[in-house]
Structure formats: C-alpha cells, structure tokens
C-alpha cells in the first residue's frame, strides 16, 4: 500500500486528507510542522510527501530543500493557498514534482500521487531487473513501441500535443514522459484537470489575476501558464472547457502571450502545451460545442493512447510491474499468480483500462492468502465477462501471446457473434456493477475503476436504467 506523509499546520486539512486517502487505500502519517516532518523522514520510509508551503517556524520550502540536500529519492507535492503561487514556482524549481492550489479536489491529488509514485518506481528499478527501463510507459507491444518512438521525436521539439484515448489509458503518464524526455525536463510540469475546476474559477486559475481584479482578489495571483515557466502545462479533459474560455485559449496559443485578469501587461508564454481528452472532439466540433479553430491549434501532433484490450500481450508485464509496486507498498512479498488467474486477467476487456487492472490486483492482494493469487481473488465485476473474448472468434482456440490456455466459451454466447463485442461486455459489466451498488453510480464507477463522468456517459449510450 502506498504510504504518504502529510505536512500541514491546519488540523482540518490533515484529517480530511487522511480520511480521503484511506478510502483510496493509501496509508498516511500526518504532522503539523517542518521539524516534525524531518523527524518522520529520518526514521521512516514514505512513497511521497505532501507539504504545505506556509508552516510555522520551518517553512515547507525549507523542508523541501532539506529533502533535496539529503538526496532522499521521494516525490514531493506542494500545496498552497491562492496568494502563495510565487512560492510554488520556487518550490518547483527547487525539486517539487507538482503543486496544488487550495482548495483542491482530493481525487486530483490521488491521481497525481499515483502517477508520481509509479514514475519514481519505474526510475528506481535495478538495472539488472527485466523491468528496468527509463520510460514510465510499461509495455512491449508494437503499439507501445510506436508510442515510445513518437514521444522521442516529440521530446526534441516544443510542439503542441493532443493526447486522446479512453479513461485510464495513461494520458497524464504519457504527458509526463514527453516532458521527462525533453530538454526542459528540469523545468516545472504543471497539470490541471479542466473538468475538476468550477467554471467560474478556470480563467483565474489559468491566467492568474491582479489584486482587485474582482471581489475577493486580495492579492496578485500567477496563473498556471506562468507557473509552468519554460516547462509543460498539461490541460487534462480539454473537452470540458467552456466555449467563452476556448476563445481566450485560442488567442493565447496564437499569440503566445497571456494577460492576468485585471492586468495591462502581456506576459510571454514559454511553456509547451499538452492537452488530453477521452471525448470525441471532432463530434463536439460538428455539434458546436468545441471551436474548430481551437481544435486545430491543440491538435498539431496527436497521439492516441491504446486501450488495454488492444495490447493484451502487455498484461503479464503490467501485472508483474503493478504487483511488484503494490506488494512493496503493502510491505509484503510479491505473490505468485495461478495460471488460470493469468488467463482471466488476459481475457478480461478492462473498460477502466490500466487503472482498473491496478484496482483488481490491489483487491486480490487484500483478499488473497499472501503467497498466491487465485481466480476467485480477482473479484471481476462479472465472472462471465472474462469468458467473452473479442479475438479470436468465439469457439476458436486462442492464439494470443498473453493467454496460456483456451478460455471456455459461455454456453449462452454460442452462435451469438455480436454478444461478444466490447459494447456487450461493457454494458453487462456496468449493469451488474450498478445492481450490486443499488444504483449508486459513484460507487459503481469506483468499483469498475472508471470515472463517474465515464459511467454516466456509458449509461446514456447503452440506455441503462438504475
């Protein structure tokens, strides 16, 4: 289990974060001072640290500098109030991996934590290990080799990139990898989830504001474009951006200049812009919900992240990598996988992609006996779903390099070619999850390893009732 140290002098923030992390199966320790943080870091091991910039006596910046001086290989996320963005810039330049502005969405924090820890784990795997790699992109499938080659070419430029693909395919991991391989890798990487920010706050978050620009603007605030500096600004869920703000983003990309709200001075834009979405932007353009000119501006170079079902041969490698990390965080040896458990893992369709695979393995570690993982420990949303393969054709022996045995054909599927489609599998898995969760869409989405927005879209698309 991942283990995190939370450093904040506000008791309510410490406790609320700790409670949320527990729900996400993340262990944490809390401390209210920089001195206490150093004591913990000297005596105990953590996977990541969350530090408030403003602390009594010893500041969060001082704690970060101590961590860097000691050479502790641990990712640090800084958190700050709205009036402390300049300090956040300094922290990122000192070595912090990311930052969040209070108040922030704890779900976004968890996503950042997992991505950072995964990247850290990938970079610290011993060179003699078969998993040793510089890239955080795990996989040897041809589609992943092409993806890595694309990223190598992109890294040598500062071209604007659009990452597309289903939820859970690793778009932020790919964005970070583009930045990590670039000449600006020492500059900040700033990620923002457009869908996770209230519509009325997005403009201020992106562009910043001057003191007095609007009611409540008590100090000058630098926006995320400024904060990214010469690094990379990652705009996740770009399809959720309101139309009025799309016009302003288009102007920024055209002129490579920004202006704070209430400001009179233009500020040069020097960061690379990487956007991501799991939505069909072309359809949104046709429907008038996304500007066509902006679409072409962000779509200079497009990368489609493949769903896990299209690179099944990578499932054993991903499973081994994830089990190694999960077992380490839980403080236990990596268990063995029974052959029939491997077959089930390789034949499931994963509507939630890699994120869902990780959730399945984490549950299996909890439910298993510690040394072995059996099929019954995997707890698939629908046991029959793993019997319905998209390829090869139903009833034929499997030739997939991932499968060691032929997966039996479900009796009710014989002669029904369309029933084995991805849509049928997803529809059945979502329907069963909703039934188990008594119609609670949030719980069902969490069980499936997908976002609430994704499950709502699927419910509408498949005409499900709950």
Helix/strand/coil (H, E, C) string of the chain?
CCEEEEECCCHHHHHHHHHHHHHCCCEEEEECCHHHHHHHHHHCCCCEEEEECCCCCCCHHHHHHHHHHHCCCCCEEEEECHHHHHHHHHHHHHCCCEEEECCCCHHHHHHHHHHHHHHHHHHCCCCCCCCCCCCCCCCCCHHHHHHHHHHHHHHCCCCCEEEECCCCCCHHHHHHHHHHCCCCCCCCEEEEEHHHCCCCCHHHHHHEECCCCCCCCCCCEECHHHHCCCCEEEEECHHHCCHHHHHHHHHHHHHCEECCECCCCCEECCCEEEEEECCCHHHHHHCCCCCHHHHHHHCCEEEECCCHHHHHHHHHHHHHHHHHHHHHHHCCCCCEECHHHHHHHHHCCCCCHHHHHHHHHHHHHHHCCCCEECHHHHCCCCHHHHHCCCCCCCCCCCCCCCCCCCCCCCHHHCCCHHHHCHHHHHHHHHHHHHHHCCCCHHHHHHHHCCCHHHHHHHHHHHCCCC
Give the per-residue pLDDT at 406. 32
The pLDDT-based confidence of 131 (bands split at 50, 70, 90) is very low
Point out the domain boundary residue: 289, 306, 323.
Answer: 306
Would you say residue 54 has pLDDT above 90?
no
Give the per-residue pLDDT at 434. 84
269 and 146 inside one domain: yes
195 and 223 inside one domain: yes
Class of residue 79 by CB neighbours under 10 A (exposed 0-12, middle 13-18, buried 19+): buried
325 and 453 inside one domain: yes
CB 189 within 8 A of CB 234: yes
In a domain, 130, yes or no: no
pLDDT tens track for 227-254: 888 899 999 999 999 999 999 999 999 9
The b/e string for 290-326 (b: 16+ C-beta within 10 A; e otherwise) is bbeebbebbeebebebbbbbebbbbbbbbbebbbebb
In a domain, 379, yes or no: yes
Q: Give me the domain span that covers residue 275.
A: 139-306
Would you say residue 357 has pLDDT above 50?
yes
Lowest mean pLDDT among 174-183, 376-385, 391-400: 391-400
264 and 370 inside one domain: no
In a domain, 74, yes or no: yes
Lowest mean pLDDT among 22-36, 150-164, 297-311, 409-423: 409-423
Would you say residue 410 has pLDDT above 70?
no
In a domain, 17, yes or no: yes
Share of the chain above pLDDT 70, in %: 84
Segment 432-436 shows an average pLDDT of 81
Cα separation, 141 vs 158, whole angstroms: 27
Give the per-residue pLDDT at 211. 86
164 and 181 inside one domain: yes
Q: What are phi and psi of 98, to 5 degrees?
A: -165, 175
Kindly report the average pLDDT of the chain as a whole number.
Answer: 81
CB 184 within 8 A of CB 232: yes
Point out the domain boundary residue: 246, 276, 306.
Answer: 306
Q: What is the CATH number of the domain that holds 277?
A: 3.40.50.300
Would you say residue 418 has pLDDT above 60?
no
CB 342 within 8 A of CB 404: yes
Give the per-residue pLDDT at 241. 93
Would you say residue 403 has pLDDT above 70?
no
Q: Which residue did the predictor score with more confidence, 415 or 461?
A: 461
Point out the domain boundary residue: 247, 282, 306.
Answer: 306
Q: What is the CATH number of the domain that holds 405?
A: 1.10.8.60
Would you say residue 416 has pLDDT above 50?
no
The pLDDT-based confidence of 366 (bands split at 50, 70, 90) is confident
- Furthest-apart CA pair in the chain: how many Å? 72
298 and 314 inside one domain: no
148 and 33 inside one domain: no
Q: How many domains does the chain have?
A: 3
pLDDT tens track for 70-125: 888 889 999 887 556 577 678 888 888 888 888 777 877 887 887 777 666 545 44
Q: What is the CATH number of the domain that holds 71?
A: 3.40.50.2300
Cα separation, 270 vs 385, whole angstroms: 48
In a domain, 56, yes or no: yes
88 and 233 inside one domain: no
Give the per-residue pLDDT at 33. 94
Give the per-residue pLDDT at 425. 62
Six-digit token string for 175: 């964005």
Cα separation, 236 vs 168, whole angstroms: 12
Give the per-residue pLDDT at 372. 84
Q: Which residue did the predictor score with more confidence, 418 or 337?
A: 337
Q: Which residue did the predictor score with more confidence, 415 or 54?
A: 54
- Which residue from 85, 135, 105, 282 is spatially nearest to 195, judged by alpha carbons? 105
300 and 318 inside one domain: no
167 and 232 inside one domain: yes
298 and 152 inside one domain: yes
Class of residue 258 by CB neighbours under 10 A (exposed 0-12, middle 13-18, buried 19+): buried
In a domain, 385, yes or no: yes
Cα separation, 466 vs 464, whole angstroms: 7
Six-digit token string for 415: 């002669």
The pTM score is 0.59
In a domain, 131, yes or no: no
Highest mean pLDDT (candidates 20-29, 325-334, 382-391): 20-29
318 and 293 inside one domain: no
In a domain, 438, yes or no: yes
pLDDT tens track for 279-335: 999 999 999 999 999 999 999 999 999 999 999 999 998 998 888 888 877 777 888
The b/e string for 52-61 (b: 16+ C-beta within 10 A; e otherwise) is bbbbeebbbb
Cα separation, 249 vs 241, whole angstroms: 10
Lowest mean pLDDT among 196-200, 201-205, 338-342, 423-427: 423-427
């Amino acid at each position: 289990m991942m283990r995190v140290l939370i450093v904040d002098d506000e008791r309510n923030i410490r406790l609320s974060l700790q409670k949320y992390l527990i729900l996400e199966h993340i262990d944490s320790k809390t401390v209210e001072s920089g001195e206490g943080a150093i004591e913990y870091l000297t005596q105990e091991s953590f996977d990541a640290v969350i530090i408030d910039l403003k602390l009594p006596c010893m500041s969060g910046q001082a704690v970060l500098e101590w961590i860097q001086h000691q050479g502790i290989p641990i990712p640090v996320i800084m958190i700050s109030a709205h009036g402390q963005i300049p300090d956040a810039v300094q922290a990122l330049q000192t070595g912090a991996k990311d930052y969040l502005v209070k108040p922030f969405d704890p779900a976004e924090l968890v996503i950042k934590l997992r991505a950072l820890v995964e990247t850290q784990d990938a970079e610290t795997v011993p060179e003699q290990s078969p998993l040793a790699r510089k890239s955080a992109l795990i996989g040897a499938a041809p589609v992943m080799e092409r993806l890595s080659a694309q990223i190598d070419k992109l890294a040598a430029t500062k071209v604007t990139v659009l990452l597309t693909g289903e939820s859970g395919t690793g778009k932020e991991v790919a964005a970070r990898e583009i930045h990590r391989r670039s000449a600006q890798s020492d500059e900040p990487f700033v990620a923002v989830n457009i869908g996770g920010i209230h519509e009325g706050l997005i403009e201020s978050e992106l562009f910043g504001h001057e003191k007095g620009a609007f009611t409540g603007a008590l100090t000058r605030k630098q926006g995320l474009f400024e904060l990214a500096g010469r690094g990379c600004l990652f705009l996740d869920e770009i399809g959720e951006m309101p139309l009025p703000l799309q016009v302003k983003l288009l102007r920024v990309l055209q002129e490579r200049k920004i202006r704070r709200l209430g400001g009179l001075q233009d500020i040069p834009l020097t960061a690379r812009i990487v956007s991501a979405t799991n939505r069909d932007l072309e359809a949104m353009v046709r429907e008038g919900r996304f500007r066509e000119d902006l679409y072409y501006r962000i779509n200079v170079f497009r990368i489609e992240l493949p769903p896990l079902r299209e690179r099944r041969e990578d499932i054993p490698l991903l499973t081994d990598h994830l089990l190694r990390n999960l077992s380490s965080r839980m403080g236990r040896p990596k268990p063995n996988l029974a052959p029939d458990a491997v077959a089930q893992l390789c034949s499931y369709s994963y509507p939630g992609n890699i994120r869902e695979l990780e959730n399945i393995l984490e549950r299996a570690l909890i439910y298993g006996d510690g040394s072995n993982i059996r099929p019954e420990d995997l707890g698939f949303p629908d046991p029959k779903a793993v019997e319905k393969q998209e390829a090869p054709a139903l009833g034929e022996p499997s030739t997939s390099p991932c499968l060691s045995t032929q997966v039996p054909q479900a009796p009710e599927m014989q002669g029904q070619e369309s029933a084995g489609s991805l849509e049928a599998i997803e529809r059945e898995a979502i329907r069963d999850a909703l039934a188990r969760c008594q119609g609670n869409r949030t719980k069902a989405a969490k069980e499936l390893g997908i976002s609430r927005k994704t499950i709502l879209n699927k419910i509408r698309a498949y005409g499900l009732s709950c």
